[in-house]
């Protein structure tokens, strides 16, 4: 260990170098680190002398990493990030069992929240934190334990277990259907307002896909109502704004409670599924395993502990 200490530069100098290289500015690095610019410059100069290489090109008030500096900065960043994640994991164990789940706002609102009381009863010592995002993030880079993905179960860099198959069926509020009249065939959709999901980052089937799978077509250019978040789509359907596509794992409990109904009773099972994912080959902590296994074992909705406002 003494030999290793003699071979490595001071950790403080590496931290200063990482920030200065990332910001390409000694002044901004000093601000982030709450140091003086002279102290940043001194730490970088010490590191360069220890390595025998120039890490920055200095041009008036600006600095740029040299080619050797860029390569070294990549390695230092990876090493410090690995150290940060390991430290955070140890600290989280000491603070208590805390697990993050990355998912869409709609999944958090309409799948997870109705199950949250049941989860807490079954796992009283686990602090589950929902991290909603509009795209599928890098779990390792973001320090997130588990994620939800839609696909065929094969995800580059991740292991997966199936949560629920993908099944899609039209939904609307009973009040909307009472106001507009029943749908006796899919051709009747031409006289209805359709609610569309324009998902910017996660590809999702739309009305054209559903109708094609059902052997029908709309027969008109439907402007409808367009939204970029599925939580908003469900909200619009609940408010009687039109007919939407319902992902059954998120909307069946609303149908069971009479808040939504199926104007046309043909579910499209796409052949894909929603999966719980985690970094490939990762050694999961016991609390992460507990959350993963509980989610996979509880696809059906429990009895609600609350009532939505009518």
The string of DSSP codes covering the chain is -HHHHHHS--HHHHHHHHHHHHHT-HHHHHHHHT--HHHHHHHHHHHHHHHTS--EEEETTEEEE-HHHHHHHHHHHHHHHHHHHHHHHHHHHHH-EEEEEEE-HHHIIIIIHHHHHHHHHH-TTEEEEEEE-SS---HHHHT-SEEEEEESS-BTTEEEEEEEEEEEEEEB-HHHHHHH---SSGGGGGGSPBEEE--SSS----HHHHHHHTT----S----EEES-HHHHHHHHHTTS-BEEEEHHHHHHHHHTTS-B-SS---EEEEEEEEEEEETT----HHHHHHHHHHHH--SPPPPSS----
What is the residue-averaged pLDDT of the chain? 87
Rounded Cα distance between 100 and 252, Å, is: 25
What is the pLDDT confidence band of residue 2, given thresholds at 50, 70 and 90? low
116-167 tens-digit pLDDT: 999 999 999 899 999 999 889 999 888 899 999 999 999 999 999 999 999 9
166-185 tens-digit pLDDT: 999 999 999 999 999 889 88
What is the pLDDT confidence band of residue 303, given thresholds at 50, 70 and 90? very low
232-242 tens-digit pLDDT: 999 999 999 99
* pLDDT of 59: 80
Q: Please determine, for residue 221, whether its predicted confidence score (pLDDT) is greater than 50.
A: yes
Residues of the chain above pLDDT 70, percent: 90
* pLDDT of 83: 82
* pLDDT of 97: 64
Tally Cβ neighbours within 10 Å of residue 57. 12
Under 8 Å between Cβ of 219 and 247: no
Place of tokens 């065929």: 152
Q: At what angle do helices 230-238 and 248-256 cross, to 10 degrees?
A: 20
Q: How many residues does the chain have?
A: 310
Rounded Cα distance between 22 and 29, Å, is: 9
Delineate the domains of the chain, giving CATH numbers in brackets: 2-93 (1.10.10.10), 97-164+273-297 (3.40.190.10), 166-271 (3.40.190.10)
Under 8 Å between Cβ of 278 and 180: no
Pairing of strands 158-171, 268-279: antiparallel
35-74 tens-digit pLDDT: 999 999 999 999 988 888 899 988 877 888 999 989 999 9
Q: Please determine, for residue 284, whether its predicted confidence score (pLDDT) is greater than 80.
A: yes
* pLDDT of 233: 96
* pLDDT of 98: 81
What is the pLDDT confidence band of residue 7, given thresholds at 50, 70 and 90? confident
Residues of the chain above pLDDT 90, percent: 60
- 113 CA to centre of own chain: 16
* pLDDT of 219: 64
* pLDDT of 3: 61
State which of 27-31, 46-50, 141-145, 290-294 shows the largest mean pLDDT: 290-294
208-220 tens-digit pLDDT: 999 999 988 776 6
What order of strands is seen across the sheet that includes strand 244-247? 126-132, 97-103, 146-151, 268-279, 158-171, 244-247
Rounded Cα distance between 93 and 86, Å, is: 11
* pLDDT of 159: 96
* pLDDT of 306: 41
Rounded Cα distance between 310 and 296, Å, is: 31
* pLDDT of 309: 40
């Amino acid at each position: 260990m003494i030999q290793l200490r003699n071979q490595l530069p001071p950790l403080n100098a590496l931290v200063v170098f990482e920030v200065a290289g990332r910001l390409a500015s000694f002044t901004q690095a000093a601000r982030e680190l709450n140091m003086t610019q002279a102290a940043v410059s001194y730490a970088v100069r010490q590191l360069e002398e220890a390595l025998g290489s120039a890490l920055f090109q200095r041009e008036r008030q600006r600095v740029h990493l040299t080619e050797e500096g860029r390569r070294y900065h990549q390695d230092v960043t990876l090493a410090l990030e690995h150290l940060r994640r390991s430290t955070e994991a140890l600290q989280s164990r000491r603070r208590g069992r805390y697990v993050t789940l990355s998912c869409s706002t709609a999944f958090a609102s309409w799948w997870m929240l109705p199950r949250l009381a049941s989860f807490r009863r079954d796992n009283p010592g686990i602090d589950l934190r929902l991290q909603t995002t509009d795209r599928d993030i890098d779990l390792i880079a973001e320090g997130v334990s588990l994620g939800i993905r839609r696909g065929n179960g094969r995800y580059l860099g991740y292991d997966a277990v199936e949560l629920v198959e993908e099944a899609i069926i039209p939904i609307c509020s009973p009040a909307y259907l009472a106001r507009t009249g029943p749908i006796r065939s899919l051709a009747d959709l031409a006289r209805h307002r359709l609610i569309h999901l324009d998902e910017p980052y996660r590809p999702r089937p739309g009305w054209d896909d559903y109708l094609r799978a059902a052997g029908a077509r709309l027969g008109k250019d439907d402007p409808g109502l367009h939204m970029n978040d599925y939580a908003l789509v469900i909200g619009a359907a609940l408010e009687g704004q039109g007919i939407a596509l319902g992902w059954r794992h998120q909307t069946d409990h609303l149908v069971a409670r009479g808040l939504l109904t199926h104007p046309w009773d043909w579910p499209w099972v796409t052949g894909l599924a929603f999966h719980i994912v985690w970094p490939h080959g990762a050694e999961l902590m016991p609390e992460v395993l507990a959350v993963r296994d509980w989610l996979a074992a509880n696809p059906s909705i429990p009895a609600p502990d609350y009532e939505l406002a009518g």
